[in-house]
Amino acid sequence: MDLDSFRNSLTTDRPPAELSPALTALWQAAKDDWDTAHQTAQSDSSAEGAWVHAYLHRVEGDESNAGYWYRRAGKPHARNSLDEEWAEIVSALL
């Protein structure tokens, strides 16, 4: 799967079964289901899950909490647009 096919999957009602929890959370976030995306990311203890968790707190506007999760993920605090960061994370995790 690549970024375009991931984006195309957003027209369906359910995320593709083969997605990791981190990618599932990004899929849910793109479907404007922040609460479910946050719950999914929170259940993923990997660095990838922490990266997505950081992104979600940025979406929420909680930069302080996002900073904590970026540190847990070993990633710099993002400064690009939310759309750009979403695509960057999806591409990196696919």
pLDDT at site 52: 98
In a domain, 25, yes or no: yes
57 part of a folded domain: yes
Q: pTM, whole model, 2 decimals? A: 0.96
Question: Is residue 50 in some structural domain?
Answer: yes
R_g of the chain computed on alpha carbons: 12
Residue 11 within any structural domain of the chain: no
Per-residue confidence of the chain (94 residues) as pLDDT tens digits?
Answer: 999 999 999 999 999 999 999 999 999 999 999 999 999 999 999 999 999 999 999 999 999 999 999 999 999 999 999 999 999 999 999 9
pLDDT digits over 44-65, tens only? 999 999 999 999 999 999 999 9
Which residue range is the domain that position 76 belongs to?
20-93
Cβ count near 92 (within 10 Å): 11
Distant-in-sequence, close-in-space partners of 56: CB < 8 Å, separation ≥ 6: 25, 29, 34, 37, 38, 41
- The reply to whether 38 falls in a domain is yes
24 found inside a domain: yes
> How many structural domains compose the chain?
1
- Which pLDDT does position 69 carry in this prediction? 98
